[in-house]
Amino acid sequence: MHFAYAGDYSSPTLSRFAQQLRETLQDLGHHYHDRVTEDVTLVVNFTDAKRPRAFRRRSQAVFVVSVVEVDEEPEDVLKTAYPLLIRTLSNLLLYLVNHDDGWTTHFVTLEQGTYSIPERPADGRAYYSAVSSRLLPLATSTLVINNRFVPDLPPELWEGNETTREITWAGKKLDAMGLLPAPFPIEELLPERDFRHVRRLYGIGGLSYGNLSARHDARSFWMSASGVDKSNLRTIGRDILLVTGYDPEENAMILSVPPHVEPRRVSVDAIEHWMIYTEHPEVGAIVHIHGWIPGVPSTVINYPCGTYQLAKAVAEIVRQAEDPAQAVVGLRNHGLTITGRSLRDVFERIEGKVVRQVPMT
């Protein structure tokens, strides 16, 4: 991996952090550049918590980690730091809180998970190894968020069918269970120029959490779109889309859409659902929520949403389940993916068991 730094890291805390992290990554065989070149796939962006500056990447393949330091532990780390994550256009934020004998490092993710590790002088390189072990799997993962829209959806499906109506019902059910946060108002946090940049780079108009899908036939499935209100899924091609395949060369999901509708992108977890449906014909529906059921098997690494690595990790646990058609998989620091023979099967099994607080480790 090739990495570079951006921004100002001249303060004592950030200077020490930058030097030790660089040495640790180099010891692991990664290559440091003194400026951001085309080879760089990880950018560590040092910025100010009061005046956060974004690093405007040119490619989806560049993973941006922003680092800020503060002198006081906030009452609610996520509420305080999440806007900084959005404003810096980052994949991950490291929020360093200074103490007399070191600092605490809070990792803040787009999926709304936050977890912490302490740093003390006596920890030495062990701390930076811990940071690297959390950072590298995320920074080297591969996003599968591109969509190829094919305007060939048969006219008899333009208004949906019984399966899409079931997805609409399931979205309302999630809302009634209190498991459906509203779309995050990303446009309220970003200047217009940065918001346009995010739309151009990732094709999203907002952030929302959770998704729903249901099998259409042996080779395709219906799925909720990205950034939409899951409690109000209505228009085919905009709110609910038909996923017909995955193109590994283009690294894109293939969508069949009505020719008269300007489509939205499908949920970023489409690659995960595609893997599960392809391998397990008995799976008829999949639900992803930001909640938890204690005691379920879980992924080891909190890969970002929409990455091939997260999809493979979840698919592996589904494969190991006693019944893959009724699996419940924990996504570390994130939520749950639940398979079912139908959407109603999923909700009958999880109702009354889900807690909203996802454990962060």
- Domain residues of the chain, as ranges? 2-139, 146-350
Give the pLDDT confidence score for residue 204 in this predicted structure: 65
Q: Mean pLDDT for the chain? A: 93
Q: Which two tokens stand for residue 117?
A: 């590790």
122 φ/ψ angles, rounded to the nearest 5 degrees = -70, -20
Q: CB-side exposure of 84: number of CA atoms within 13 Å?
A: 27
- Residue 59's pLDDT band (cuts 50, 70, 90): confident
Question: Rounded mean pLDDT of 333-349?
Answer: 96
Q: Are 103 and 13 in contact (CB under 8 A)?
A: yes
Question: Rounded mean pLDDT of 337-346?
Answer: 98
SS3 state of residue 209: coil
pLDDT in tens, 10-37: 999 999 999 999 999 999 999 999 999 9
Question: Rounded mean pLDDT of 297-320?
Answer: 95
Helix 308-320 and helix 270-279: axis angle, to 10°?
30
Distance linking the first and last C-alpha atoms of the chain: 26
- Based on the number of CB atoms within 10 Å of its own CB, is 333 exposed (0-12), middle (13-18) or buried (19 or more)? buried
Domain 146-350, architecture per CATH: 3-Layer(aba) Sandwich (3.40)
- Cα separation of 140 and 160, whole Å? 38
- Based on the number of CB atoms within 10 Å of its own CB, is 121 exposed (0-12), middle (13-18) or buried (19 or more)? exposed
Amino acid at 229: D
Give the pLDDT confidence score for residue 92 in this predicted structure: 95
Reported pTM: 0.91
Pick the closest to residue 288 from 210, 180, 176, 179 (CA basis): 210
Give the pLDDT confidence score for residue 206 in this predicted structure: 67
Question: Rounded mean pLDDT of 87-109?
Answer: 92
Q: Residue 262: how many CB atoms within 10 A of its CB?
A: 9
- Cα separation of 79 and 144, whole Å? 28
pLDDT in tens, 309-339: 999 999 999 999 999 999 999 999 999 999 9
pLDDT in tens, 161-213: 999 999 999 999 999 998 887 666 777 877 888 888 877 776 666 677 799 99
- Based on the number of CB atoms within 10 Å of its own CB, is 260 exposed (0-12), middle (13-18) or buried (19 or more)? exposed
Question: Rounded mean pLDDT of 129-143?
Answer: 93
How far, in whole angstroms, is CA 253 from its chain's centroid? 16
Question: 7's torsion region: left (phi>0), alpha (psi -120 to 50) or beta?
Answer: left
Topology agreement, domain 2-139 and domain 146-350: no
What Rg value do the Cα atoms of the chain yield, rounded?
21
- Cα separation of 301 and 333, whole Å? 9
Q: What is the CATH number of domain 2-139?
A: 3.40.50.10300
- Residue 294's pLDDT band (cuts 50, 70, 90): very high
